[in-house]
Amino acid sequence: MLNKILAAYNINQATATVAPFGSGLINNTWLVKNGDHNYILQRINHHIFKQPGLIATNIKNIAGYFASHHTDYFFVTPQTTNNGEEMLYQPGEGYFRLFPFVQKSHTIDVVNTPEQACEAATQFGRFTRLLSNFDINRLQTTLPNFHNLNLRYQQFELALQHGNNQRIKQAAGAIDFLKSQKNIVDTYNHICNNPDFKLRVTHHDTKISNVLFDDQDKGICVIDLDTVMPGYFISDVGDMLRTYLSPVSEEEKDYTKIEIRNEYFKAIASGYLSQMDEELSSAEKNHFVYAGKFLIYMQALRFLTDHLNNDAYYGAKYEGHNFIRANNQIVLLQKLMDKEAELTRLILQ
Ligand code: GN1
Ligand code: MG
């Protein structure tokens, strides 16, 4: 299968090596090495991204905007095939893209220092800021309702009605907790109706592995633009808080290791606000900690919903995998809420 794809990009199959790369849950990624040239090959999961062409359109339009307005921004675009296409469709296999591997760049999977958190937050803030005059109406919605918390709550309620009965019984504690925090959904609804909250070009997947670093550990740019869509800043800040504050990830089964680290919170805030301070309204800034609650709560809902739906979306590597992830996110949410007042003071200093 991969041979045909390499051929479409004029890569010599005899000399190239292909190895799985990264740890995403949705798309498949490989590192392709051929002599001095390295590439990242990606298969888009078209059961989830039902119109992969929209992703290509967004990348093309954003690339065009950077090329005419911010020529110094380093922007990684996919290579075209022999036929001049940005994506390669393989019947039965799906859609593939090939990116040049940026020389001397690297990505990291886990945030190890506040400096890395600050660099990443700077890059995500910078991306949105540089595109603040990009016409949001030109941006395609690649995943409708992706961060619509109302819809995520409705999907959770549907799973409670139609999901796996045994799992629903076992998960009673987690279900009750998430229901008890529904005020997080209410706040989201207020945000959607509040003109002080603006829709901007939003990345929607701000994990650390979506930032390219140079050999001095400075951020170069953001990558993985599949979910770039109009959105609220709470999506991007929220996923950074969700994934950088704790020393352990959503996969951790020992919940005592979950922790909210103040110095990482400060690093995210200072990096993001170094770019976005003038863009954000005071109402938005007042919701900086809420952003973390919003995203962690949504992820807990999504993992639990998937567990109740027999792991149809995320899949499971072991029995109860998504239940472990959901409970992990619930503990993270509780620990963030314990520190809400303290962290809010830090942001308003
Ligand atoms: C998925 O595939 P990956 O790991 O980049 C998901 C995100 C979740 C994340 C949780 C399209 O992202 O929304 O936060 O898993 N992406 C999609 O690990 O559903
Ligand atoms: Mg992604």
Give the closest ligand to the alpha carbon of residue 25: 1
Task: Tell me the best of 21, 23, 26 to mutate to test the pocket of ligand 1, counting ligand atoms within 8 Å of each CB and taking the most.
Answer: 26
Expressed in angstroms and rounded, the spacing between residue 26 Cα and the centre of ligand 2 is: 7
Q: How far apart are the first and last CA of the chain?
A: 56
Return the residue whose CA atom lies nearest to atom 19 of ligand 1. Answer: 26
User: Which tokens belong to 334?
Assistant: 């509780």
Lining ligand 1 with CB less than 6 A are 24-26, 48, 205, 250, 299
DSSP per residue, 179-212: HHTTHHHHHHHHHHT-TTS--EEE-S---GGGEE
Query: To the nearest whole number, what is the mean pLDDT of the chain?
Result: 95
How far apart are the CA of 25 and the centre of ligand 1, in A? Answer: 6
Output the residue whose Cα is nearest ligand 1's atom 11.
Answer: 26
| pLDDT, average across residues 226-250 | 97
Atom of ligand 1 nearest to the CA of 45: 11
For residue 319, name the pLDDT band (cuts at 50, 70, 90): very high
What is the three-class DSSP state of 18? strand
CA 239 to ligand 2 centroid distance, Å: 12
Q: Which atom of ligand 1 is nearest to the CA of 242?
A: 14
d(CA 58, CA 233): 19
The pLDDT value recorded for residue 222 is 94
pTM, to two decimals: 0.94
Distance CA 29, CA 31 (A): 7
**What would the mean pLDDT of 42-59 be, rounded to a whole number?**
93
Number of CB atoms found within 10 A of residue 127's CB: 25
Give pLDDT tens digits for 262-293.
Answer: 999 999 999 999 999 999 999 999 999 999 99
136-150 pLDDT, tens digit per residue, is 999 999 999 999 999
Q: Which residues contact residue 21 at a Cβ distance below 8 angstroms, ignoring those fewer than 6 apart?
A: 29, 30, 31, 40
Q: Which residue has the tokens 């701000």?
A: 206
Lowest average pLDDT, out of 27-31, 144-148, 265-269, 326-330, goes to 27-31
Q: What is the pLDDT of residue 62?
A: 96
Mutational pocket test of ligand 1: of 25, 142, 207, the residue with most ligand atoms within 8 Å of the beta carbon: 25
* Per-residue pLDDT reduced to its tens digit, 52-88: 999 999 999 999 999 999 999 998 889 999 999 989 9
Q: Is the pLDDT confidence value at 8 over 90?
A: yes
pLDDT of amino acid 23: 74
Q: Single out the residue of 291, 347, 299 nearest to residue 327, CA to CA.
A: 299
| Closest ligand 1 atom, residue 299 Cα | 14
Q: Which residue has the tokens 């680290």?
A: 261
